[in-house]
């Protein structure tokens, strides 16, 4: 197997690095302390560069960026800790709208999302349904040309800064759960919508969103009535294609190496000279290379036109589980010092490792939990029996 990156991907990497040197500031990264992993200025700059519309598949009218280059873009954004969560969401939302939307959504919402002028968020999960997303209960009832929506969504990340939510609703409670769903693109300034902050232990802000007699015209419907599961499958397909969040460990490893070089133990020795510490650091670096192989293998499959499935699950599973493991190793290595957070004087690198330690578990939950991804690998790769209906 040839592991060499194509020359065009490395040229593109240099272009992204140059772009980040010009556009990403320390203030943008520091601003994410409020829990919102989004910078309006950076998002617009990425869109202006053509990388947002570029990431939308060509067959839908987007730029059709090579998936390997898209993977490079996502890797560099993550390595530089760029607050760019809205990018992946926008690409998924535009792809859903262009594939299933009618004139109103295709003509008004999609172009503004692609230009970075407006933001979208994803309203699938509810207080009682996350992994089993098809069990959504938020009701949409037809009233002539209009729809009336009532219910609540949980974990509507970015809703407090977004303009639209792609909302999964139940339109027929009498049929099997996958058949009675309908999607809507809902402007978040519509009367009857309330957004409440949900803070996570990893400092990331998400939201609970409430829909109380929200009235919408039929032009906001995305896809056919009761065919929301087809739209959902499109969303999952593009979400896996984006394959973001696969490179979380390198900044933590860098911080751990820095700590191991600088810290002094009671006997005056440096942790970096301890074989056990070096062993953990090297193992973590090897894991990062495995993550990269998974991610670029998946991207290469997409580049060749193969619609991957289980490979996306393997990539996400390995990346989030190894990230959790690395953070736990390094926090243990640091002993009591590892407990200092960014507010504490003397915290190493402003408490970066401790903060990642709290953030890491979340990555094994959103976008499909590790258990669900293990099920998908077991069924899709090992041919084991299905674990749920």
Among 32, 36, 53, 157, binds ligand FAD (CB under 6 A): 157
- Closer to ligand FAD by CB, 155 or 259: give it: 155
Among 365, 378, 379, 380, binds ligand FAD (CB under 6 A): 365
Q: Does 208 bind ligand FAD (CB under 6 A)?
A: no
Q: Does 206 bind ligand FAD (CB under 6 A)?
A: yes
- Tokens read off for 117: 């002028």
- At 206 the three-state DSSP class reads strand
Which residue in 374, 62, 22, 110 sits closest to 242, CA to CA? Answer: 62
Query: What is the closest distance, in whole angstroms, from the C-beta atom of residue 361 to ligand FAD in the complex?
Result: 9
- Count CB neighbours of 94 within 10 A: 28
Q: Does 362 bind ligand FAD (CB under 6 A)?
A: yes
Q: Does 171 bind ligand FAD (CB under 6 A)?
A: no
- Tokens read off for 232: 């959902």
Query: What is the closest distance, in whole angstroms, from the C-beta atom of residue 26 to ligand FAD in the complex?
Result: 24
Binding mask 45-84 for ligand FAD (x = CB under 6 A): ----------------------------------------
- Closer to ligand FAD by CB, 56 or 166: give it: 166
Among 19, 51, 147, 155, binds ligand FAD (CB under 6 A): 155
Q: Does 25 bind ligand FAD (CB under 6 A)?
A: no
CA distance 77 to 177: 38
Q: Does 156 bind ligand FAD (CB under 6 A)?
A: yes
Q: Does 372 bind ligand FAD (CB under 6 A)?
A: yes
Token look-up 């003397």 returns 346
Stretch that binds ligand FAD, among 57-65, 155-163, 174-182, 283-291 (CB under 6 A): 155-163
CA distance 41 to 15: 19
Binding mask 112-141 for ligand FAD (x = CB under 6 A): ---------xxxxx----xx----------
Query: What is the closest distance, in whole angstroms, from the C-beta atom of residue 15 to ligand FAD in the complex?
Result: 29
Helical axes 85-100 vs 228-242, angle rounded to 10°: 140
Query: Any residues with CB less than 8 A from the CB of 147 and at least 6 apart, and which?
Result: 140, 141, 184, 215, 216, 217, 218, 220, 221
Q: Does 111 bind ligand FAD (CB under 6 A)?
A: no
Residues 276-295 that bind ligand FAD (CB under 6 A): none
Burial label for 241, CB within 10 Å (0-12, 13-18, 19+), is buried
- Closer to ligand FAD by CB, 18 or 387: give it: 387
| H helix or E strand, kind and range, residue 132 | none
CA distance 288 to 33: 25
DSSP letter string, 37-80: -B-HHHHHHHHHTTHHHHTS-GGGTS----HHHHHHHHHHHHHT
Q: Does 366 bind ligand FAD (CB under 6 A)?
A: yes
- At 342 the three-state DSSP class reads coil
Number of residues written out for the chain = 389
The strand pair at 193-199 and 181-187 is best described as unpaired
Q: Does 369 bind ligand FAD (CB under 6 A)?
A: yes
Binding site for ligand FAD (CB under 6 A): 121-125, 130-131, 155-157, 200, 204, 206, 362, 365-366, 369, 371-372, 375, 387-388
């Amino acid at each position: 197997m040839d592991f060499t990156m194509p020359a065009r991907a490395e040229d593109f990497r240099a272009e992204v690095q140059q772009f980040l040197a010009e556009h990403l500031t320390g203030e943008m990264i520091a601003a994410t302390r409020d829990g919102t992993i989004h910078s309006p200025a950076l998002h617009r700059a990425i869109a202006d560069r053509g990388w947002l519309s570029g990431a939308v598949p060509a067959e839908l009218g987007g730029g059709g960026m090579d998936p390997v280059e898209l993977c490079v873009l996502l890797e560099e954004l993550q390595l530089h800790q760029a607050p760019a969560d809205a990018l992946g969401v926008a690409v998924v939302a535009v792809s859903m709208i262009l594939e299933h939307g009618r004139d109103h959504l295709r003509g008004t919402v999609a172009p503004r999302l692609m230009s970075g002028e407006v933001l979208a968020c994803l309203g699938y999960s509810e207080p009682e349904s996350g992994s089993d997303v098809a069990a959504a209960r938020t009701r949409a009832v037809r009233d002539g040309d209009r729809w009336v929506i009532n219910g609540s969504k949980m974990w509507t990340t970015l809703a407090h800064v977004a303009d639209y939510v792609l909302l999964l609703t139940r339109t027929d409670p009498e049929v099997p759960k996958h058949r009675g769903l309908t999607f809507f693109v809902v402007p978040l300034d519509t009367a009857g919508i309330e957004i409440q902050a949900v803070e996570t232990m990893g400092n990331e802000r998400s939201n609970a969103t409430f829909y109380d007699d929200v009235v919408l015209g039929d032009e906001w419907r995305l896809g056919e009535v009761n065919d929301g599961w087809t739209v959902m499958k499109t969303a999952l397909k593009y979400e896996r294609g984006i394959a973001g969040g696969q490179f979380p460990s390198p900044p933590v490893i860098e911080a751990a190496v820095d700590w191991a070089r600088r810290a002094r133990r009671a006997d005056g020795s440096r942790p970096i000279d301890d074989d056990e510490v070096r062993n953990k650091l090297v193992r973590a670096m090897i894991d990062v290379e495995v993550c990269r192989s998974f991610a670029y293998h998946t991207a290469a499959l997409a580049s060749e036109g193969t619609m991957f499935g289980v490979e996306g699950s393997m990539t996400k599973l390995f990346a989030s589980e190894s990230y959790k493991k690395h953070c736990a190793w390094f926090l243990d290595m640091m002993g009591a010092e590892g407990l200092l957070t960014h507010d504490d004087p003397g915290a190493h690198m402003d408490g970066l490792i401790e903060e990642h330690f709290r953030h890491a578990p979340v990555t094994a939950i959103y976008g499909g939990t590790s258990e669900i991804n293990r099920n998908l690998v077991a069924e899709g790769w090992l041919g084991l029996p299905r674990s749920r209906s």
